[in-house]
């Protein structure tokens, strides 16, 4: 199915961690969609400082939970990709999205018709600024590739 170019999303945000976060930013950059979000002070990530190619703003704190909250607050909804039960920062993302009252969609990236499901959710909730979150690559090997594959169906590279 060809992508629907009438999706409401105008910006994709994430925290810049390896795995889902970076995959979302990579897809946005390749598709020409504005992207950004908050990352911890020092551009902290599990593989060292986050590359400057990702236009992220640093929080004043080194803690991951501060950037997680800011990205949820600054977005219209959060899309989580995970192949396993949610733990750590991904579980916190779910908890905070619910507490703050923002739309939340959790996707198991090995299912069928996922791009259509995401597309409908984006339209139903009129998501203009989309926060994309999920586990880091070290705890969920292959999650970046799976995330990219699905998001590229919605936003192909130019």
pTM greater than 0.75 (yes/no)? yes
For the chain, give the mean pLDDT: 96
Q: What is the pLDDT of residues 13-42, one digit of tens each?
A: 999 999 999 999 999 999 999 999 999 999
Does residue 154 come out as left (phi exceeding 0), alpha (psi in the -120 to 50 range) or beta?
Answer: alpha
- pLDDT tens across 87-115, in order? 999 999 999 999 999 999 999 999 889 99
Give residue limits of the domains in the chain: 11-154
Architecture of the CATH domain 11-154: 3-Layer(aba) Sandwich (3.40)
By CB atoms closer than 10 A (0-12, 13-18, 19+), residue 65 is: middle
């Amino acid at each position: 199915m060809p992508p629907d170019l009438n999706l409401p999303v105008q910006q994709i945000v994430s925290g810049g961690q390896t795995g889902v976060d970076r995959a979302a930013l990579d897809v946005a950059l390749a598709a020409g969609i504005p992207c950004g979000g908050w990352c911890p002070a020092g551009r902290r990530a599990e593989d060292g400082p986050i590359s400057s190619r990702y236009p992220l703003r640093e929080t004043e704190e080194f803690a991951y939970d501060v950037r997680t909250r800011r990205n949820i607050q600054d977005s219209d909804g959060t899309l989580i990709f995970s192949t396993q039960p949610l733990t750590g920062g991904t579980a916190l993302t779910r908890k905070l999205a619910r507490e703050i009252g923002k739309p939340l969609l959790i996707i198991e990236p090995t299912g069928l018709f996922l791009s259509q499901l995401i597309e409908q959710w984006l339209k139903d909730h009129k998501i203009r600024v989309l926060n994309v979150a999920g586990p880091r690559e070290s705890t969920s090997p292959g999650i970046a590739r799976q995330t990219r594959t699905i998001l590229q169906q919605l936003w192909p590279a130019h």
